[in-house]
């Protein structure tokens, strides 16, 4: 594996005319290749999938300009907070596709979804075995309000 990585880096250097490729160069290249994350549409679709009717699509922009991207990113954070997700990122983190902050947003949405009672969850289809593991995990989670209520 180490040999393969070193060979890959050597080949990469030859394509950059001998200039050393830094982490910043790689991230800049990757971020410019995936514009779809910076416009926020993916996260709005994700939020809509886990909670139908949570997104008012009339408020969503195409995310072409920086201003439109910021509006979408702000809206994503607003929806996630209203749902009860723990949010630690800023709109700029979405616009700039800050990898770690994007991961925390995604995990927070997933955690919120898994905490929901089974009957409230929208029907989700699974293309892999991971889907059944997630369903098993979600079925085993306990809703705090349900555990605190008493039966009369």
pLDDT of residue 119 exceeding 70, the answer is yes
Cβ(114)–Cβ(141) below 8 Å:
yes
Residue 124 located in a structural domain: no
What CATH number is associated with residue 106?
Answer: 1.10.418.10
Residue 112 located in a structural domain: yes
Residues 6+ apart with CB under 8 A from 116: 138, 143
Between the alpha carbon of residue 14 and those of residues 7, 8, 17, 30, 103, the distances in Å are 11, 10, 5, 19, 32
* pLDDT (mean) for 30-53: 86
Q: List the Cα angle 93/83/97 in 5-degree steps.
A: 15
Residue 37 located in a structural domain: yes
Give dist(CA 5, CA 98) in Å, integer.
24
Residue 140 located in a structural domain: no
**Structure pTM?**
0.61
Instruction: Give percent of the chain with pLDDT exceeding 70.
Output: 60
Question: Domain containing 82: what range?
Answer: 32-118
Residues 6+ apart with CB under 8 A from 54: 47, 48, 79, 82, 83
* pLDDT (mean) for 42-60: 96
Q: CA Rg, the chain, in Å?
A: 20
Q: How many domains does the chain have?
A: 1
């Amino acid at each position: 594996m180490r040999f393969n990585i070193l060979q890959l880096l050597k080949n990469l250097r030859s394509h950059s005319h001998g200039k050393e490729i830094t982490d910043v160069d790689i991230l800049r290249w990757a971020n410019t290749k995936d514009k779809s994350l910076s416009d926020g549409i993916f996260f709005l679709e994700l939020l809509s999938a886990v909670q139908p009717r949570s997104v008012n699509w009339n408020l969503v922009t195409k995310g072409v300009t920086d201003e439109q991207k910021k509006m979408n990113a702000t809206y994503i954070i607003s929806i996630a907070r209203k749902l009860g997700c723990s949010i630690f990122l800023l709109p700029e983190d979405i616009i700039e596709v800050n990898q770690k902050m994007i991961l925390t947003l995604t995990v927070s949405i997933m955690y919120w979804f898994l905490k929901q009672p089974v009957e409230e969850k929208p029907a989700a289809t699974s293309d892999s075995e991971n889907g059944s593991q997630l369903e098993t995990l979600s079925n085993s989670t306990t809703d705090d309000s349900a555990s605190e209520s008493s039966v009369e």
